[in-house]
A and B are shown apart, each in its own frame.
Chain A
């Protein structure tokens, strides 16, 4: 049996399937509808991580103008918190963003934060803290429960730039003090050159971008400068009023006035609201104007130069603030620049560090904790429709306020809040409707007729660690260091060059020579004191030394940087040759000492000695030699001998030792040399002596002469009674002659002398004196003499020049006298023959 019931079931199945598919599609179209079906707990760390990324790496939204410059009433425009200065510079946070983020009176925990940085529909509880290592720690959110998701991100915080303009700037730079006339109205202009600011430096981390960050201008010494220029005036009678602020922009060559809106006026002298009502009277000696970026952001697309012209009115009139700045014509605004003094320039707000304190990065750490959101959604504090008012009470990290959250209070009723700090925390402030009430522990709103806020702020207890260092080093950080309860504080102990750590006392207890110490989990005040001592080194002399000694001869301990001196004493006859420092040879500092340069290590020192060496300068004059000669080296104690040899025919004239004569000695020996000496020898030629002489007073034929026909003559002429007479004859000469061999061996410089006479000598005839060096084979004339032809003959004495060298040292030397005549009537005589020679 069959029926159609089964078809119905299939229809139902098909319809149900379509319904389920449609349901899934719709559900997936609605964001967040099914979010969190998974376990919440595993997401805490991930949500904390995501929140950390948004805070540290994102600049937030809106970007232009930045979200942090929206005033409290405009906070609904802020859709996402982000602290980074730009997308391109993760981990570098903007100080203004940080300040605004932690402004818990403007943004209310948890809703304002949850919707802008935590996100998601699940009501997470959270806490965001910032450890500002160069400023104040901040926190927003609840006290941490036992378990939570967590991330920590080290970051840099970019500080803002600011210019401090003192009277040196506006007087010596002739910016203001130009015109000598007194005036009551003065204008000073500051140039914000956007194209240059954004073009010269493009890295957002160091850029001054007025469209992104506040700029601050502080002008100092206003009234005191008036007083200084006119001593009659004093500060009590002088007044300075900021009468107006005008802004001009320059595009190309054209200038135009740009009126400021109320939301673009600056904050003056730390005011919490903008000062848009002018004049601003009773300026103290200084005035500080902080411009937020809205105005510059409005003009940034035009790449304009912007002049901020501050108009001052001073009383009494003064010269030091004259209207000297380059400004457009106030009245016509015709786009043309009118100069009161074209030589002046505005103050440049730029990258010159002498003008503007540049942005500076400092360390910080962002912490995010997220946990199960068992917190009440407090709402925005609006008035309930039942005639009640809402007081929103919040507590920062480290304490509680009771009651907490949105507290409904009947119109006209009172409401007490009690504030209690957690253990190890203390109350730092209680802010009621944005106004500080100090460190009170309770506060009562009386006769509540409107909504209020009360925020209790706490800070962790801090302890003081007093760090000090003795002479010779440093401890970092130094002085009184404030440390949070339970935190850690490291200290680094660094000795100066040449010093070492002798001890580190922690709370008065020695901890030895440690170079660092960390106070962990600080719960009390502490002290840390480091002491140092100068480093010492040992210089060890090597003993004993050969041929000398060293003083001191024991290891010496010296301080770092000392310059110790060691003295070397050589044995007699020795001197210090080389100093060995760690075995390396070095020259001595003085002949007998070595002084170390500033000592920075251990050393050994030794020395080597060398025997003294002297020079004996030996020299000889002409005609002789001395051996050895020249510069002769002699060691101490040596006994060198010098030989002096004269040349042939010479003899030693004298020997001088150190300038003193020691006689004509052929040798000289120095006794034990201990100094340099000189020795010199001079020579003299030997004196000629007579080798032979004959005055013929003895018959020459019996006296060694060989004679041929001569007479031993007693007639005239003669000297002493006899002479030799020679007669001529026909035929070749010599006709009659006499000769004798006289050995000149051992002699040189032979000279002869003789006397000749002649008579009746005709032409071509002569009487001659001759010598022979070859034993009579050949003769050489010494003298040819013709005498007198008639009358009485006389003897003439001849002394010819020294004979040639062939006559020297000649055993065959011979003298001959003869006559070359033509007949017996020719006469010749010879007498007084002498031969001289210089003995060898």
Chain B
């Protein structure tokens, strides 16, 4: 003997399944904003901050002037050093806030250039603290063109060279 009671349960099951699928579709398809640092927000913020700071430092303040970054690299000995001007300005740009406390972002900057013999050299530029190895650092870079005139630079003199400024940034 058969009857139709079972059909009702079957239909409910299908309906429930469809509702659940529709709900899942809606949730998944709802508008959301994804960014490069979606899963590592703090890294994204550091990257954006460092990239902006390097970009700002490489913008001349008026026409016919070199940028601060170019001046800094020109003033840094070709063998490297801890350039105070870079340290002061970069640290100021990345740590300044309107809030009560400054941020505590540390950095270590170098620049890399290709010598005339095709070897590459990584030259220390500035640092706020030495890397101990345990930091969770992000890397930001900026190409800068520099001509040091008669001073030997990247294996040549009186030639404009492009160097890659690399900054590792991390929070205390």
Answer yes or no: do A and B interact: yes
Task: Report if A103 contacts B (CB, 8 A).
Answer: no
Known contacts A16-B15, A360-B61; decide if A129 and B98 are in contact (CB<8 Å): yes
Q: Looking across the interface, which residue of chain A has its beta carbon closest to that of B15?
A: A16
> Which chain A positions have C-beta within 8 A of B11?
9, 12-13
Report the Cα distance A374→B48, complex, angstroms. 28
> Which chain B positions have C-beta within 8 A of A17?
18
Q: Looking across the interface, which residue of chain A has its beta carbon closest to that of B87?
A: A516
Task: Report if A24 contacts B (CB, 8 A).
Answer: yes
> Which one, A47, A365, A492, contacts B33 given CB within 8 A?
A47
Binds A, one of B23-31, B117-125, B151-159: B23-31
Q: Distance in Å from the Cβ of A28 to the closest Cβ of chain B?
A: 7
**B interface footprint on A604-636 (CB within 8 Å = 1, 0 otherwise):** 000000000000000000000000000000000
Binds B, one of A61-69, A305-313, A483-491: A483-491
Q: Looking across the interface, which residue of chain A has its beta carbon closest to that of B92?
A: A490
Task: Report if B19 contacts A (CB, 8 A).
Answer: yes
Q: Is the CB of A35 within 8 A of B30?
A: yes
Q: Looking across the interface, which residue of chain A has its beta carbon closest to that of B14?
A: A13
Q: Looking across the interface, which residue of chain A has its beta carbon closest to that of B89?
A: A363
Report the Cα distance A515→B82, complex, angstroms. 12
Task: Report if B10 contacts A (CB, 8 A).
Answer: yes
Task: Report if B56 contacts A (CB, 8 A).
Answer: yes
Report the Cα distance A486→B14, complex, angstroms. 62
> Which chain A positions have C-beta within 8 A of B87?
516
Q: Is the CB of A494 within 8 A of B95?
A: no
> Which chain A positions have C-beta within 8 A of B34?
46
Q: Is the CB of B48 within 8 A of A488?
A: no
Residues facing B in A84-137 (CB within 8 A) are 90-92, 129, 131, 133, 137
Q: Is the CB of B100 within 8 A of A45?
A: no
Q: Is the CB of A424 within 8 A of B2?
A: no
Known contacts A20-B22, A91-B56, A206-B62; decide if A152 and B41 are in contact (CB<8 Å): no
Q: Distance in Å from the Cβ of A659 to the closest Cβ of chain B?
A: 60
Q: Distance in Å from the Cβ of A158 to the closest Cβ of chain B?
A: 10
Q: Is the CB of B101 within 8 A of A486?
A: yes
Binds B, one of A36-44, A593-601, A802-810: A36-44
Residues facing A in B44-100 (CB within 8 A) are 44-45, 48-49, 52-53, 55-56, 59-63, 84, 87-88, 91-100
Residues facing B in A1-57 (CB within 8 A) are 1-3, 5-6, 9, 12-13, 16-17, 20, 23-24, 27-28, 31-32, 34-38, 43, 45-47, 49-50, 52, 56
Report the Cα distance A50→B36, complex, angstroms. 12
Q: Is the CB of A153 within 8 A of B52?
A: yes
Task: Report if B115 contacts A (CB, 8 A).
Answer: no
Q: Distance in Å from the Cβ of A699 to the closest Cβ of chain B?
A: 111
Q: Is the CB of A131 within 8 A of B97?
A: yes
Report the Cα distance A456→B63, complex, angstroms. 39
> Which chain B positions have C-beta within 8 A of A363?
56, 92-93
> Which chain A positions have C-beta within 8 A of B14?
13
Q: Is the CB of B60 within 8 A of A1?
A: no
Q: Looking across the interface, which residue of chain A has its beta carbon closest to that of B41?
A: A45
Report the Cα distance A282→B32, complex, angstroms. 60
Q: Is the CB of B25 within 8 A of A24?
A: yes
> Which chain B positions have C-beta within 8 A of A152?
45, 49, 97, 103
Report the Cα distance A3→B30, complex, angstroms. 44
> Which one, B27, B35, B48, B93, contacts A365 given CB within 8 A?
B93
Report the Cα distance A5→B49, complex, angstroms. 67
Report the Cα distance A562→B149, complex, angstroms. 31
Q: Distance in Å from the Cβ of A612 to the closest Cβ of chain B?
A: 46
Q: Distance in Å from the Cβ of B36 to the closest Cβ of chain A?
A: 9
Q: Is the CB of A137 within 8 A of B30?
A: no
**A interface footprint on B1-15 (CB within 8 Å = 1, 0 otherwise):** 111100110110011
Report the Cα distance A1→B2, complex, angstroms. 6
> Which chain B positions have C-beta within 8 A of A52?
48
Q: Is the CB of A203 within 8 A of B63?
A: yes
Q: Looking across the interface, which residue of chain A has its beta carbon closest to that of B91?
A: A490
Q: Is the CB of B94 within 8 A of A154?
A: yes
Q: Is the CB of B100 within 8 A of A486?
A: yes
Report the Cα distance A359→B62, complex, angstroms. 7
User: What is the interface size of chain B, counting residues whose CB is below 8 A from a CB of the partner?
Assistant: 55
Known contacts A45-B41, A494-B84; decide if A38 and B32 are in contact (CB<8 Å): yes
Q: Looking across the interface, which residue of chain A has its beta carbon closest to that of B18?
A: A20
Q: Distance in Å from the Cβ of A201 to the closest Cβ of chain B?
A: 6
> Which chain B positions have C-beta within 8 A of A151?
45, 48
Q: Is the CB of B53 within 8 A of A154?
A: yes
Q: Is the CB of A24 within 8 A of B22?
A: yes
> Which chain B positions have C-beta within 8 A of A521?
100-102
**A interface footprint on B130-142 (CB within 8 Å = 1, 0 otherwise):** 0000000000000
Q: Is the CB of B63 within 8 A of A485?
A: no
Report the Cα distance A436→B11, complex, angstroms. 71
> Which chain B positions have C-beta within 8 A of A90?
55
Q: Distance in Å from the Cβ of B92 to the closest Cβ of chain A?
A: 7
Q: Looking across the interface, which residue of chain B has its beta carbon closest to that of A44?
A: B41
Q: Looking across the interface, which residue of chain B has its beta carbon closest to that of A89?
A: B59
> Which one, B26, B31, B93, B94, contacts A24 given CB within 8 A?
B26
Q: Is the CB of A361 within 8 A of B96?
A: no
Q: Distance in Å from the Cβ of A4 to the closest Cβ of chain B?
A: 9
Known contacts A43-B33, A139-B98, A485-B100; decide if A361 and B60 are in contact (CB<8 Å): yes
Q: Is the CB of A38 within 8 A of B27?
A: yes
> Which one, A34, A49, A133, A154, contacts B35 given CB within 8 A?
A49
> Which one, A28, A361, A515, contacts B59 given CB within 8 A?
A361
> Which chain B positions have C-beta within 8 A of A156?
56, 59, 61
Task: Report if A674 contacts B (CB, 8 A).
Answer: no
Report the Cα distance A38→B30, complex, angstroms. 8
**B interface footprint on A484-524 (CB within 8 Å = 1, 0 otherwise):** 11111010101000000000000000000001100011000
Q: Is the CB of B33 within 8 A of A206?
A: no
Q: Is the CB of A153 within 8 A of B49?
A: yes
Q: Is the CB of B84 within 8 A of A13?
A: no
Known contacts A45-B41, A137-B98, A361-B59; decide if A492 and B4 are in contact (CB<8 Å): no
Report the Cα distance A521→B97, complex, angstroms. 12
> Which chain B positions have C-beta within 8 A of A516?
84, 87-88
Report the Cα distance A520→B96, complex, angstroms. 11
Q: Is the CB of A35 within 8 A of B31?
A: yes
Q: Distance in Å from the Cβ of A257 to the closest Cβ of chain B?
A: 34
**B interface footprint on A354-376 (CB within 8 Å = 1, 0 otherwise):** 00001111110101000000000
> Which one, B10, B22, B63, B100, contacts A9 given CB within 8 A?
B10
> Which one, A2, A3, A27, A397, contacts B98 given CB within 8 A?
A397
> Which chain B positions have C-beta within 8 A of A490?
88, 91-92
Task: Report if A460 contacts B (CB, 8 A).
Answer: yes
Q: Distance in Å from the Cβ of A518 to the closest Cβ of chain B?
A: 8
> Which chain A positions have C-beta within 8 A of B96?
131, 133, 365, 487
> Which one, B4, B18, B35, B92, contacts A5 given CB within 8 A?
B4
Q: Distance in Å from the Cβ of A17 to the closest Cβ of chain B?
A: 6
Report the Cα distance A5→B9, complex, angstroms. 13
Q: Looking across the interface, which residue of chain B has its beta carbon closest to that of A494?
A: B84
Q: Looking across the interface, which residue of chain A has its beta carbon closest to that of B11?
A: A9
Report the Cα distance A676→B145, complex, angstroms. 67
Q: Is the CB of B26 within 8 A of A27?
A: yes
> Which chain A positions have C-beta within 8 A of B26?
24, 27, 34, 37
Known contacts A5-B4, A13-B14, A359-B62; decide if A150 and B33 are in contact (CB<8 Å): no
> Which chain B positions have C-beta within 8 A of A154?
49, 52-53, 55-56, 93-94
Given pairs A46-B41, A397-B98, 10 additional interface contacts (CB within 8 A): A12-B11, A37-B30, A45-B45, A47-B33, A153-B52, A154-B94, A361-B60, A365-B97, A487-B96, A487-B100
26 contacts between A and B (CB under 8 A): A2-B2, A9-B8, A34-B26, A34-B30, A37-B30, A38-B32, A47-B33, A49-B35, A49-B44, A52-B48, A133-B92, A144-B99, A151-B45, A154-B53, A154-B56, A156-B61, A205-B59, A358-B62, A361-B59, A362-B61, A486-B100, A487-B100, A487-B102, A515-B84, A521-B100, A521-B101
- 10 closest Cβ pairs, A-B complex: A486-B100, A5-B4, A488-B102, A206-B63, A37-B30, A154-B93, A46-B33, A129-B98, A154-B52, A45-B41
